[in-house]
Amino acid sequence: MTITVSMVETIGKNVDRLDAMRLYTRIVERRSFTLAANDMEVPRSTVTKVIRQMETRLGVRLLQRTTRVVRPTLDGEAYYRRCLAILDDIEDAEGAFSGAQPTGMLRIEVQGTLARHFLMPALPEFFAQYPQMEIAMSESDRWVDIVQEGVDCVLRYGYLRDSELVGRQVAMLEHLTCATPAYLQQYGTPAKLDALAGHRMVGLRSITSGNVTPLSFTVGETTQTVTLPAAISLTGTESYLAAIRLGLGLAQVPRFHIEHDLQSGALVQVLPDMPPPSMPVSLVYQRSRQLSPRVRVFMDWVARRFDEANAPPRD
């Protein structure tokens, strides 16, 4: 086949249009021209020009602009959905037929202890397997707005609360009740729930509600909760663990947080026959998006990582 000048021009226009779609979807998700420009590493003036040309070509207004935020119009929302489907199909098709490995930036949000204990030690292996990928990782204990903050996926333990999100469970984390030997020497080692009277706990406080999470115990096929006086309550995981190690009370944490403390004797498991319920670990992503190859390979790798770390089996 002879490639003509007109064909080359058509290909160039199509490539520009796909790039414009990528830019447009990022604007809708970030609600900001400036943030989208930063994500895509283009000047803000380019973003403005591309959207103006897009609206002129389509003959509709796609975005409503105010001094504080950018929102899609009804037509803009419909066009956004179509752009997502087109871009996802193209990425899937190219990955399936080219045999190429996933490339580009993956933006993830991870709870700090999960990042340090599970992901970071194995990242060299991940990059050896996927050398063309880059990861922008943020650490936080709060619930992240995936769409607004431009995150591809979030690794969290806990139960999914947002119906707009989809989560793939990759592990179940074993939890246990623990305390320092010094604390138990002072307050006694409880052998049953009734013996918890007179004890204290280290409080884990919700960032959103401000409530302190009660202690939970599996008794037969039921779960019983107990709230004890708390000398201190905290929202951050690292501070919570530090308070436990200082002997400020009973606490319940995932085993992986304190495995070394248990082995060294710095912490002691309490009421082992009535453990707290296990907690799911999930990779969460936006419901409206298909899984990109980058998210898919990262998700599979994380699941293998938990298996290798001897996490309890997944359901």
CA atoms of 225 and 214, how far apart (whole Å): 6
Q: Tell me the two tokens of residue 1.
A: 């086949």
Residue owning tokens 């769409």 = 147
**C-alpha dihedral, 178 to 139 to 312 to 191, nearest 10°:** 10
Q: How far apart are CA 234 and CA 261, in angstroms?
A: 20
Question: What six digits make up the tokens of 248?
Answer: 């400020």
DSSP state of 41: T
pTM of the model: 0.62
HSE-up of 273 (CA within 13 Å, CB side)? 5
Q: pLDDT means per 10 residues in the chain (315 residues)? A: 37 63 88 86 88 91 86 90 81 64 83 81 92 86 65 78 69 92 97 95 85 93 94 88 96 90 97 93 73 84 78 42
- Domains of the chain as residue ranges with CATH: 5-98 (1.10.10.10), 104-169+290-308 (3.40.190.10), 175-270 (3.40.190.10)
